[in-house]
Structure 1
Amino acid sequence: MEVHGISSFTTTPTDDSRTYCPGFSRDSVSMEKVYLYLIDPEASIALKEIAELIILSGHDPKLCHIYSETRYNKLMQCLYLLGVQIEPKIHSPAAATAEGGYNLKLDCRKVKLWIEGLKIIVVTVIPEERYACAQIFGCDNTVEEDCFAGATTRCTQQLLAGGSVMTKVKDQQYEKMPLLLQMHEELAKIRPSLLDLLPGDAKDVISQEASMLLDKLGEASLPTVGFLEFMVQSRTR
């Protein structure tokens, strides 16, 4: 049975308790559109009653699977809305060139979209999903955590993978360094808040991948730092 509202808001939220992301530019994408990918709080009431019956009947594993897949797909659509670049599936060097996977040009717009996406996902989307899972599956803590982790972990991994794509670009011009350092700064700043939201194994997985991305961002900027040092030394001779 399909329950309308599981994957979208039917009304425009006006509750002041919903916080817009700091530094978010409303010119790039409307927050009202972001809320279309979240669960309507009113729908949570009906979903809670259905979830309790399913759990009592012993079908909670299937419930977790269906909820996780449904919400993961919806949250991925939210990433696309935000313009966050997702890492392409590259199987060969030729495919990499065809897909542009390793010939991307790092520019301010892509970095801005990724940073805004990071903030919106961590500050708004994941907390809203956490709240929805608590409302719907509060009768069973294990189901609640499994559904939440299943819905958000892979989406967060794709967000981090989008940042990883930007470390693979061939462009080594000096303009690249401030962009990579900006991404590094924003991820380092928001990482503790992200990890606080995630339970158990999901926290460990995302913590490791976030740390790997921070390392990649630092390493990717090193050639540019060397280029700058060379230019400075050349001009002072």
Structure 2
Amino acid sequence: MSINFQAEAKILRGPHEDLESYLEAVDQLRSIIRFFSSNKNLKSSIGVINQANTLLGKAIFKLEEEFRQLLTSYSKPVEPDRLTDCLPNPTKPISAALGHDDSNAALKSSPEHQHKSLENVRPPPDLIPPRIIPLLHKIAQQMIQAGHHQQLLNIYREARASAIEQTLRKLGVERLSKEDVQKMQWEVLEAKIGGWINFMRVVVKVLFAGEKKICDEIFEGNDTLRDQCFSEVTANSVSVLLSFGEAIAKSKRSPEKLFVLLDMYEIMRELQSELDTIFKSKYCGEMREAAAVLTKRLAQTARETFSDFEEAVEKDATKTAVLDGTVHPLTSYVINYVKFLFDYQSTLKLLFGEFGDGDVDAQLASITTRIMQALQTNLDGKSKLYKDPSLTQLFLMNNMHYIVRSVRRSEAKDLLGDDWVQINRRVVQQHANQYKRISWSKILQCLSIQGLQTGGSGSFGDGGSTSGVSRAMVKDRYKTFNMLFEELHQRQSQWTVPDSELRESLRLAVAEVLLPAYRSFIKRFGPLIEGGKNPQKYIRYSPEDLERMLAEFFEGKTWNEPRR
């Protein structure tokens, strides 16, 4: 029985100093028990079996403590950088910031940037040092043989769940309710959503995948315990992660949330196969189901938000007119919104596919057309807030030009079609013509010969007769012209045409009508004034002066700003 004494000595020393030798001693004890159990006719068999079983019980208890001590010592939270460095930078920026161009977007999606990102990717961190895994596996096997499944599960859950949850807290993951979300300022919420999308990617692809790997290795050979342990270790962390997505999906809908909802839906679809693989066991069924429900709910909320937007555009009740007739904030907001939609075409196809909605391109074209029509309807209403009908036309011209130009430069053109572009370019021209007619017809009448002659005939042509034209009537025309032009100059130099090409073409269109008429009037009737007293009182401007002053129109000047 010397082998029994050797085993006993090793057991009493404990596993900490020499685990391999300790495990050999445990195996020896089991061999002794098996031998004497099958040879109970031997005189000392009962006593030996009892002694060995008592010693084996102590050995397993010490192994349990060693398992706990090893697992607890090496189960530390992972620093956020070690997790995030394992994945390439996402090439698509979080795109909720409507109205702001992402100047880094092109850089982020460039091949050079992606190559650089991949170069900087580090291997996944070891959640437990590789040299410790085999020791834990061997101890686990002994405890399983001894029937200590529940003790193993409890120890493993306590140590590993705590490490994962602490890691999530370090990342900034927190459980938030719908009420918490509703109270947040949009900028704060937007940042949290961007963070959540990154957390989901790194936690699933690195942390949960790593946890699954060590769980598989430690409990290799015992599938049921392996699956139970992994499920219990990750259940609360999965719940915390998904709770934020649920809170967003259930919170009050608003147009600016559409793109973050699409981002969230996109990440859930991206991670779907990995979630299904990592959480494939029957014990993880609730987690798989929760992820699938969240994906569907995000899709549904995004779809409803999409529908809300068209109605919100048409019913936007902002009563504050842009005083200078420039592009309305609603116009730039809606156009940016539509542009962003085309960054999500692949996601929208998936989303519409969730509900079996048929031809995605046709749907997108229909929705885009309706949004544009809703915007035009709203702008027509806003244009009626202006008391000056000239400014009404300038406002509509500016906004329609912005819409058409933006569509022509974006993927929306392919969906809306060339006919839509051509029709609306004509609308822009119609508003420009209406502006000219309303603003300048009265002043052009001052330069007309009609009403000046009391007899005979006259014309604007060179050498035309001035017989029958009184100097007083010509003076009156000059005074009226000066007054009207100065009023127009003072008022319309404060108006804005933000597009330089459109601004220049509108000035040119006015100049092409005004300057020839003015030159002809001066040539025809100027001598009547120049021969009298104070001619500069009436002929206040040369054609060159008018041309210079026309160049100040639509610059958005303020009242106290000096003339150029």
Structure of larger gyration radius: 2
Query: 2: CA distance between counterparts of 1:20 and 1:155?
Result: 20
Query: 1: CA distance between counterparts of 2:77 and 2:308?
Result: 50
2:289 corresponds to which residue?
208
Q: 1:46/1:67 Cα in 2 relative to 1: closer, same or farther (>3 Å)?
A: same
Query: 2: CA distance between counterparts of 1:234 and 1:138?
Result: 62
What letter corresponds to residue 7 of structure 1 in structure 2? Answer: S
What RMSD over aligned residues (CA atoms) do the two structures have, in Å?
Answer: 3.1
What letter corresponds to residue 374 of structure 2 in structure 1? Answer: S
Does structure 1 retain, via aligned residues, the 8 Å contact 2:197–2:264? yes
1:220 corresponds to which residue?
301
1:132 corresponds to which residue?
214
| Cα distance, 1:113 vs structure 2 | 1.2
| Cα distance, 1:203 vs structure 2 | 4.1
| Cα distance, 1:219 vs structure 2 | 3.0
Query: 2: CA distance between counterparts of 1:175 and 1:69?
Result: 41
Does structure 2 retain, via aligned residues, the 8 Å contact 1:41–1:132? no
Q: 1:194/1:136 Cα in 2 relative to 1: closer, same or farther (>3 Å)?
A: same
1:20 corresponds to which residue?
86
| Cα distance, 1:49 vs structure 2 | 2.5
Does structure 1 retain, via aligned residues, the 8 Å contact 2:279–2:288? no
Which among 154, 160, 168 is matched to residue 79 of structure 1? Answer: 168
What letter corresponds to residue 79 of structure 1 in structure 2? Answer: L
1:28 corresponds to which residue?
none
Query: 2: CA distance between counterparts of 1:75 and 1:189?
Result: 22
Does structure 2 retain, via aligned residues, the 8 Å contact 1:21–1:120? yes
Query: 1: CA distance between counterparts of 2:292 and 2:134?
Result: 38
Does structure 1 retain, via aligned residues, the 8 Å contact 2:204–2:274? yes
What letter corresponds to residue 197 of structure 1 in structure 2? Answer: I
1:41-190 matches, within 5 Å, as 41-88=130-177, 96=179, 100=180, 102-106=182-186, 107-170=189-252, 172-190=253-271
Q: 1:65/1:39 Cα in 2 relative to 1: closer, same or farther (>3 Å)?
A: same
Query: 2: CA distance between counterparts of 1:5 and 1:45?
Result: 15
Query: 1: CA distance between counterparts of 2:270 and 2:232?
Result: 25
Higher relative contact order (CA 8 A, sep 6+): 1
Query: 1: CA distance between counterparts of 2:237 and 2:222?
Result: 23
Query: 1: CA distance between counterparts of 2:149 and 2:175?
Result: 31
2:376 corresponds to which residue?
236
Query: 2: CA distance between counterparts of 1:134 and 1:189?
Result: 24
2:432 corresponds to which residue?
none
Query: 2: CA distance between counterparts of 1:125 and 1:140?
Result: 22
Query: 1: CA distance between counterparts of 2:210 and 2:130?
Result: 10
Mean CA deviation greater in 143-152 or 227-236: 227-236
Query: 2: CA distance between counterparts of 1:194 and 1:223?
Result: 26
What letter corresponds to residue 279 of structure 2 in structure 1? Answer: L
In structure 2, the gaps of 5 or more residues are: 1-64, 92-120, 314-370, 378-564
The percent of aligned pairs where both chains have the same amino acid is 24
In structure 1, the gaps of 5 or more residues are: 26-30, 91-95
Q: Secondary structure at the match of 2:137?
A: helix
For these two proteins, the number of residue pairs brought into alignment is: 215
Does structure 1 retain, via aligned residues, the 8 Å contact 2:227–2:283? no
Does structure 2 retain, via aligned residues, the 8 Å contact 1:8–1:40? no
